[in-house]
Amino acid sequence: MDLVVKVNAQSNLITNIEARRALLLNGTWQYIVDPYETGFYDYRYKELKESNTDAYWNSDVPVNKTDKKEHGYTDKNTLKVPGDWNHQKPEFLYYEGTIWYKKSFDFKPTGSGRYFLYFGAVNYRADVYLNGKKLGMHKGGFTPFNFEVPASLLKEKDNFLVVKVDNKRYADEVPTLNTDWWNYGGITRDVKLVELPQTFIQDYVIQLGKPQPGKAPARNPEVSGWLKLSDAKPGESLTITVPELKVKYQVVSTGAVTPINFKLINPVLWSPEHPKLYRVVVSSATDQVEDRIGFRTIETSGEQVLLNGKPIFMRGICIHGEIPQEVRRAHGTDDAKQLLLQAHELGCNMVRLAHYPHDEAMTRMTDSLGILVWSEIPVYWTINFGSQEVLDKAKAQLNEMITRDHNKASIIIWSVGNETPISQTRTDFMHNLITEAKHLDSSRMISAALEVNYAALKNENVVDDPLGEFVDLVAFNEYLGWYGGLPDQCRTTNWSTPYHKPLFISETGAEGKFGFHADSLTRFSEEFQEWYFKEQVAMFKRMPSNYVGVAPWVLNDFRSPKRNNPLYQEGWNRKGLYDDKGNKKKAFYIMQAYYKEMSKRVR
Ligand code: GCU
């Protein structure tokens, strides 16, 4: 049986973390800002030994009055977790460097369990210490990770948890030095101390198998996937129940990973119109975890995208993980609700979560609201494609993104990157990522925002990026009339791709400052942006038959250090259909009307 989602045996990531027994460590943390990393290196710039009392992960309290202590955590210096530091202190708005976070907590171990420190995300590098011992280091600013805590290390009182967070940008990281978004640093998502049995259910895939090509799913479709225990324990009885469908499936574990395969009787399939989620209970001899899972199929068939065997048109919008009203990274359910209700108001059935995996609250919410998702790793622009180390970093983030969300029905596209400049080295690098993504999850479409060959033919732009051969969905960004020329170019421009695959516009947009009104030729006016979208919509109506959707850039105005027009931008990218205060611009209504029309035509 072909497992649609492969198991990543190396990953120790614990999934469905919200359903696990945990001590939430969110709240007020003390901090030390450390631009010279004095708490990590000695004066010869050598890493401090773990026991060195000058290290900022060791106690800051002098034992004797003769003790020399040159660091200390106090309530005078605190930050909220989760949350980026940039919006919490004016002096941190542009800060790029190291900040040490410290939290003391009491904990009564039950004695028989295993303990893991879980982080929803830390941007960009996290070095984690507990009671003076290093637990691990993680790189990647938008994906979860967890480190096991030896029970012997935990105390009932005053556990000293320290996290060194460094958000400096480097050429050989993912993303690289240059991005069109704010480099928000910090512990930006939830922190938990998770308590689990000695052998626990670490991860699982419970999804419908690949459908018969081009066919609607069977009335009684087959679930195919696997259960992964924390340890290889053959002979353990494992059970999956879906009470509402009267499913009780039992299997005996064959090791750490046990394939599963069973039928659902006449389930309600998940879709934007009917985002049905079922309560699913996974249990073993010593552990039990509940989840809410939607069952659907997604595939491409020729030049169409089929959801549950029927063609769909994706009425999308690109979203940054940012709450512009408070100029901060988005996290949690309320933020997810705010952003997705704006997308719903626009008439969307799909969101492109740019350019990095968003908080899990977002993909839980898209599952509940019935909004299709494009989820992406930040392989953005000019990554160092010639480096194996950089490829490994990108793969690690791809693994973490897919592992966290491989049971989310709303996610239909994994994207391995955005606007990467064509070269053989780059195409090999990206092809490698596409292959890895397909290996990890062949049940979803794999894509990326590809490059366009402008004016390849007379009045015709051709999406002939060599990566088009390997992706399922040929997606491209175009800014006809904003970057180069004026919007009326749209009238005489055609689009094509040599790949007989569905074609998707993954970005298109123009800037408009809310409240700035002028004639439509005046750049940065709402009228210019409105004209841009009027011309674009007219062009959408002339797209070739394999055009399956569009995701305008972007839902809200967002912060970027690259946008420095003193009148209209002032550090904001103004391509939002909403401004940074939630006001709708005139262009919003052009897209809303288009989506209203399209919603009547194709689901
Ligand atoms: C690019 C890029 C976006 C960027 C946008 C813009 O296509 O993908 O991240 O913000 O264009 O220039 O506004």
Nearest to 397, CA basis, from 382, 375, 381? 375
Cα of 356 vs centre of ligand 1, distance in Å, is 13
CATH number for the domain harbouring residue 464: 3.20.20.80
| Residue span of the structural domain in which 183 resides | 17-196
Which of 196, 216, 243 represents a domain boundary (last residue)? Answer: 196
**Domain co-membership, 34 together with 173:** yes
**Domain co-membership, 347 together with 436:** yes
**Domain co-membership, 551 together with 490:** yes
Instruction: Give the per-residue pLDDT at 255.
Output: 87
Q: pLDDT for 288-305, tens place per residue? A: 999 999 999 999 999 999
**Domain co-membership, 422 together with 451:** yes
Give, for ligand 1, the residue of 183, 479, 553 to mutate: max count of ligand atoms closer than 8 Å to Cβ: 553
Cα→Cα distances 29→2, 32, 81, 103, 539, Å:
47, 10, 7, 5, 52
Ligand 1: lining residues by beta carbon, under 6 Å: 180, 355, 418-419, 477, 507, 553, 573, 575
Asked if 357 and 591 count as a contact pair (C-beta separation under 8 A), the reply is no
Cα of 165 vs centre of ligand 1, distance in Å, is 27
Domain count for the chain: 3
The one-letter code for the residue type at 545 is: S
Q: Which residues contact 291 (CB under 8 A, 6 or more apart)?
A: 16, 19, 206, 279, 280, 281, 282, 407
Instruction: Give the per-residue pLDDT at 1.
Output: 40
List the beta strands (DSSP E) in 219-327: 222-229, 237-242, 247-252, 257-263, 278-283, 288-293, 298-301, 304-307, 310-311, 314-315, 318-319, 322-323
Give, for ligand 1, the residue of 477, 482, 557, 558 to mutate: max count of ligand atoms closer than 8 Å to Cβ: 477
Cα of 180 vs centre of ligand 1, distance in Å, is 6
**Domain co-membership, 486 together with 511:** yes
Cα of 449 vs centre of ligand 1, distance in Å, is 11
509 CA closest ligand 1 atom index: 13
397 is a domain residue: yes
Instruction: Give the per-residue pLDDT at 3.
Output: 56
CATH number for the domain harbouring residue 174: 2.60.120.260
Q: 136 forms bridges with which residues in the sheet?
A: 128
Which of 300, 323, 358 represents a domain boundary (last residue)? Answer: 300
378 is a domain residue: yes
**Domain co-membership, 277 together with 400:** no
1 is a domain residue: no
Q: Give the closest residue (by CA) to ligand 1 atom 3.
A: 180
Asked if 170 and 98 count as a contact pair (C-beta separation under 8 A), the reply is no
Asked if 506 and 449 count as a contact pair (C-beta separation under 8 A), the reply is yes
**Domain co-membership, 417 together with 294:** no
Q: How far apart are the first and last CA of the chain?
A: 32
126 is a domain residue: yes
Q: Give the β-pairing of 411-418 and 372-376.
A: parallel
**Domain co-membership, 306 together with 292:** no
**Domain co-membership, 106 together with 239:** no
Q: Which residues contact 13 (CB under 8 A, 6 or more apart)?
A: 144, 145, 146, 202, 203, 400, 403, 404
**Domain co-membership, 382 together with 525:** yes
**Domain co-membership, 524 together with 461:** yes
Phi–psi pair at 426, nearest 5 degrees: -65, -45
Show the low-confidence residues of the chain (pLDDT under 70). 1-10, 602-603
**Domain co-membership, 374 together with 396:** yes
Cα of 369 vs centre of ligand 1, distance in Å, is 27
Instruction: Give the per-residue pLDDT at 587.
Output: 99
